[in-house]
Structure 1
Amino acid sequence: MSELTQEGKGLKGSKFLFQQLVNDKQASLNYAILSSSPSLMGFIKHKDSFQWKSPLKELAYKEFRNELLELEDSWTINKDLLKEYWPAMGPQWDGIAIVEGKDGKKGLLLVEAKAHIKEMRSQIQAKGESRLLIEKTINEVKNYFHSSEPLDTWINQYYQLSNRLAFLYILNQKMEIPAWLVLTNFVDDQSHISTSLESWMGHYIEVFDQMGLNSSKCHLINNVITIFPELNETWLTKKG
């Protein structure tokens, strides 16, 4: 799990670091995301099309779950549809941004932040009907990505990434909301556990292979963005 306070401001690790990015280094964050995603670059109207909604200091670093559909009036009609694919409490996103498209259509960036590799491992905890619904949806997502790997790998090894991919699928394919998943992986975090760029790269290649994620089989993988912010002491100790 990410290193979190109960709520509000992070003290160390990925929560703390991503809050710093959004509130103090937003332009650098935007460029990192754009430079890593030709599909997003082809969608947005201009380079300043980002509107970060979370985690903002002035909103006590609020993080969104399913209520992200309330950020735009045109998205709220999908609230009942979401219930067909996911329980009432969806993933808690480390960051949310709205992006303006060339045709005036709004898109959504969903951020999952990590500071060390151990955070990647996770398994489903839901029980009863909620678990059955989640497993059904993730199996549908796995099939959409043309993955022949076992469902167990998706829900009991990399469940957090799986449920993030599920929301990427639901938003884009079921709700027709252009959405991108931004996997933010901090390099050499000195606030908690340090992970090198080489380690991150090797790990993602392994994870994508084990989950059967292949860009030649599914175009939606192009809406998964990986960025690797490198830290320095001056930034790390800055008060946010």
Structure 2
Amino acid sequence: MRVIQPAGKRGSLKWIQRAVNHRPELLQPSALPCIDWRSPLTSDDHAEYRDAAFLDVLGLGHLAEELSRFWPRRGPQWDALGVCAAGPVLVEAKAHLAELQSPPSKAAGASRHMIDAAFRAVQSGLGIDPENDWTRTYYQLANRIAHLWWLRDRGVPASLLLVSFLGDEDMNGPAEADTWHSAFDAVMRALGLGDQTELTNHIHHMAPDTRLLRCA
């Protein structure tokens, strides 16, 4: 699914659009080769992608059928997508701490069973206690991590980039990167990923200062 977005006026939507289109160097982790951004591009209506469409954007359309067996429709809508020499890059962006605590999954019936099965597969693959319920407080980040695991389990050397903007005055966002780092550390521990390196080595963090994007 291709989801056209308006030009962002506030929050992470505003900043990720500006960073991708005008200051991509602010999103470049030192551990990854130069990223070629595929969304959200001004020339593409700032569109964001989900389900099979996000795979197409990354040149992974051949995995669409497998994805449909792993996760139900209306899966994660990626804030940004890119590719680099090391592999595809999936992005989740935040502008304030409250965004980390997403609502629990609202899926029901067959969709909920699918999500539960997907999380069990991820947790089993990573040696995480299945009693750790990923469908609750940190569901949004958990489902992004699950998709990262799914891609890598299929031999795709994907990375997840967590972009945490600094100094968003409208959203009362953190001014220091350490605040974000502490918050993400707590979330990872809550998900059972605190001491897990097999997957977390492929999760990268960037904390761009919004002052560098205000005139972009």
Shorter-chain TM-score above 0.5: yes
Are 1:82 and 2:62 counterparts?
Answer: no
CA distance in 1 between partners of 2:78 and 2:91 (Å): 6
Q: Is the 8 A contact 1:13 1:193 kept in 2?
A: no
Under a length normalisation based on structure 2, what TM-score does the superposition of the two structures give?
A: 0.89
Are 1:21 and 2:19 counterparts?
Answer: yes
CA distance in 1 between partners of 2:110 and 2:122 (Å): 18
Partner of 1:55 in structure 2?
A: 40
Under a length normalisation based on structure 1, what TM-score does the superposition of the two structures give?
A: 0.81
**Aligned partner of residue 83 in structure 1, secondary structure:** helix
Q: Over aligned residue pairs, what C-alpha RMSD do you find?
A: 1.9
Partner of 1:169 in structure 2?
A: 149
Q: Is the 8 A contact 1:185 1:228 kept in 2?
A: yes
CA distance in 2 between partners of 1:168 and 1:56 (Å): 22
Are 1:114 and 2:94 counterparts?
Answer: yes
Q: One-letter code of the match for 2:144?
A: R
Partner of 1:3 in structure 2?
A: none
Identical amino acids, percent of aligned pairs: 30
Shift, 1:218, TM fit: 4.1
Matched residue count: 210
Shift, 1:199, TM fit: 2.4
Structure 1 segments unaligned to the other structure (5+ residues): 1-5, 102-106
Which residues of 2 match residues 73-222 of structure 1 at below 5 A? Answer: 73=59, 75-101=60-86, 107-122=87-102, 123-148=104-129, 150-152=131-133, 154-174=134-154, 176-197=155-176, 198-215=178-195, 217-222=196-201
CA distance in 2 between partners of 1:71 and 1:199 (Å): 33
Are 1:71 and 2:57 counterparts?
Answer: yes
Shift, 1:128, TM fit: 1.0
Q: One-letter code of the match for 2:91?
A: V
CA shift digits 1:170-219 (9 cap, x unpaired): 11103x2211010101112123222132321221121111111034x441
Q: Is the 8 A contact 2:97 2:173 kept in 1?
A: no
Q: One-letter code of the match for 1:93?
A: W
Structure 2 segments unaligned to the other structure (5+ residues): none
Shift, 1:137, TM fit: 0.3
**Aligned partner of residue 135 in structure 1, secondary structure:** helix
